[in-house]
């Protein structure tokens, strides 16, 4: 396994890009240069927000939890039952729910509030940062809805080509 790097040697990567695309598409090279600069600014370590939030949005439970919390504030047990009711994955373990909620809270996407009831409990809600991320998730989901016919057609073409190539 390769050791994790703390930074990107931007100049070295840019030289590699120029070598790989030597005499090639200048527009692609410029786009790649900009991407490398963004990546360097975003950070390359696993604990950088860019990597962690993308990972969180793509994990099995976090996006669903954020979407559920966009409907209202819920206690831990209610969230667990909601996940089981609406999630295609079904049941979420107590431990996994706690881990995902803590991660979302750590990133500032949800808030955990103590509720003074008998017995005492906690309630989870979206923060303004979480609301903003949910808006972006909704945009991506709408894009998928708008293009699902094209995506299915592309999958069929791909499967047909795979079958033809053996």
> In what order do the strands lie in the sheet containing 110-115?
74-75, 121-126, 110-115
Tokens (6 digits) for 15? 């030289």
State the pLDDT at residue 151. Answer: 94
State the pLDDT at residue 44. Answer: 72
**Number of other residues whose CB lies within 10 A of the CB of residue 133:** 22
State the pLDDT at residue 87. Answer: 81
| E strands present in the chain | 74-75, 110-115, 121-126
> Phi and psi of 39, rounded to 5°?
-60, -40
State the pLDDT at residue 2. Answer: 44
pTM (predicted TM-score): 0.80
Domain 47-166, classified CATH 1.10.10.10, yes or no:
yes
- Cis peptide before 77, with omega less than 30 degrees from 0? no
CA atoms of 68 and 124, how far apart (whole Å) = 10
Task: Delimit the domains of the chain by residue range.
Answer: 10-45, 47-166
Question: Which residues fall within 8 angstroms of residue 108, CB to CB, at 6 or more apart?
Answer: 127, 129, 130
> pLDDT by residue for the chain (166 residues), tens digit each?
445 566 778 888 888 888 888 877 888 888 888 888 888 887 777 778 878 888 888 888 999 999 999 999 999 999 999 999 998 777 899 999 999 999 999 999 999 999 888 888 899 999 999 999 999 999 999 999 999 999 999 999 999 988 888 7
């Amino acid at each position: 396994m390769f050791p994790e790097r703390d930074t990107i040697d931007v100049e070295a990567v840019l030289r590699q890009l120029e070598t790989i695309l030597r005499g090639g598409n200048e527009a692609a090279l410029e786009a790649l240069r900009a991407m490398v600069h963004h990546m360097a600014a975003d950070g390359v370590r696993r604990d950088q927000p860019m990597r962690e939030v993308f990972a969180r949005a793509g994990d099995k439970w976090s996006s669903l939890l954020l979407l559920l919390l966009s409907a209202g504030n819920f206690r831990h047990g209610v969230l667990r039952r909601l996940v089981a009711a609406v999630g295609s994955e079904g049941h979420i373990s107590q431990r996994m729910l706690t881990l995902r909620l803590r991660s979302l809270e750590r990133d500032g996407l949800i808030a955990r509030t103590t509720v003074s009831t008998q017995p005492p409990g906690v309630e989870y809600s979206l923060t303004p940062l979480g609301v903003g991320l949910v808006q972006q998730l909704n945009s991506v989901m709408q894009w998928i809805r708008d293009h699902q016919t094209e995506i299915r057609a592309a999958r069929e073409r791909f499967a047909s080509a795979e079958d033809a190539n053996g």
